Amino acid sequence: MRITTWNVNSIKQRIGHLLAFLEEARPDVVCLQELKCQDAAFPRDEVEAAGYTVETLGQKAYNGVALLVRKPLALTEIRRGLPGDPDDVQARYIEGVVAGEETAPVRVASIYLPNGNPVASEKYPYKLAFLERLRRHAGGLMRDETALVLAGDYNVIPDAVDAADPEAWRGDALFLPPSRAAFRALLAEGLTDALRACDPREGVYTFWDYQAGCWQRNFGIRIDHLLLSPQAADRLVSASVQKHLRGLEKPSDHVPVTVELLDA
């Protein structure tokens, strides 16, 4: 089972890139973030025609997450929204169980974690509270011992090695010590950072800003992660970054990250 996470930074602008990726890579599950559209505006017909079941949690102009599952795999037990705050209306979390006749179930979540900037605003406490809610929810999900993959744009640079220029991010919500500590607390629930487990090299990034020639200079950061429960980590075969998509015309500033798991 191949599971991909990708912040497309507007599905309307990137639908051509997405359809080409689905045909090229044939992932079994795709976790999309930053759709920037309501559910009714998602290009469902095009994605379904490519052979995928679609579940979305959209929001006008902002946020938005989706799960795409390649048929004949089934997608069930859909959960929209991260538990823990009934007043949170931002579209940042969708979860479901993927399984097939010869494929053991995997619970997959698509997550668009808050950016948190500016730090002095209410946005940073919201980011930290979201991370804590995610930690608690993950701990609860892991108790049933079903393979779990928490995939998405976490907006957290875990370590200095995950940035081409760490000093440029010292005061940013993505790299502040509380953000990194909250990410480590999430891992401490027993989750594995799949990409780092497979590729510990420096210079592995998933995001390049549109400004200041960051892509051309490879001034990237790693903020898109797939975190695996022990049952999923036991099935881990590989993890990779599809960096070439950043070089397309009018690309997202993020690229897909993919893990491959044994079917059972």
Active site residues: 112, 153, 254
DSSP characters over 12-79: HHHHHHHHHHHHHH--SEEEEE---S-GGGS-HHHHHHTTEEEEEE--TTS--EEEEEETTSEEEEEE
In the annotated binding site for Mg(2+), the residues are 7, 34, 153, 155, 253-254
In the annotated binding site, the residues are 7, 34, 153, 155, 253-254
Q: Which residues contact 148 (CB under 8 A, 6 or more apart)?
A: 106, 107, 108, 109, 138, 141, 142, 228, 229, 231, 232
Contact indicator for 94, 80 with CB cutoff of 8 Å: yes
